[in-house]
Amino acid sequence: MRTGIFPGSFDPVTYGHLDIIKRAEHICDRLIVAIAKNSQKESLFSVEERLELLKLCCKEFSSFVEVVSFDGLLVDYCRANSVSFIIRGVRSVSDYEYENMNTAVNKKLAPEIETLYMIAGADAYLISSSIVREVASYHRDVSEFVPSIVSEKILQKFEV
């Protein structure tokens, strides 16, 4: 069985992430969508909130997707859970450069784990979780970028 992992902060999950998850069905038998910690980022949603939203948004993929969160290094999680490759979405040259750095570190730590880059869908270059947070913070509609449950929850975060 080919198990892949799609790790990220998912703060919050966007249509860009869901596009990658949907397309990953063609390349793995089982996909773990994992909320991991990026030590450079402060989050708006707690891990529990992100987990709940991701689970709701991944319901339609439940036959092959499992949603989890973990602490610690990604490669350690992969080894402990028989994950053979990491999937990362790439939207732009700057994403590519950033991903290459992470991939190189992961490769040093665990040479047997491959990283696959999936080119983001045509509309996804406009989307990022921080753009969604920024727009929502001004009480503007973000339903073009995220599922309705996410847009509802994020607007609640900025209610006064």
CB of 131 to ligand COA, least distance (A): 6
Tokens, residue 102: 């992470």
Q: Does 127 bind ligand COA (CB under 6 A)?
A: yes
| Site of tokens 């998850």 | 21
Which of 40/156 has CB closer to ligand COA?
40
Cα distance from N-terminal residue to C-terminal residue, the chain: 49
Please select the residue that binds ligand COA; options are 28, 51, 83, 129, rule is CB under 6 A: 129
The verdict on 151 binding ligand COA (CB under 6 A) reads no
Amino acid at 97: E
Radius of gyration of the chain (CA): 15
Among 4, 5, 8, 113, binds ligand COA (CB under 6 A): 8
106 contacts ligand COA (rule: CB under 6 A): yes
Say what angle helices 148-157 and 129-137 make with each other, to 10 degrees.
50
- Nearer residue to ligand COA within complex by CB, 101 or 160: 101
Site string for ligand COA, 25-54 (x = CB under 6 A): -----------xxx--x-------------
Residues that bind ligand COA (CB under 6 A): 7-11, 14, 16-17, 20, 36-38, 41, 73-74, 89, 91, 102, 105-106, 120, 124, 127-130
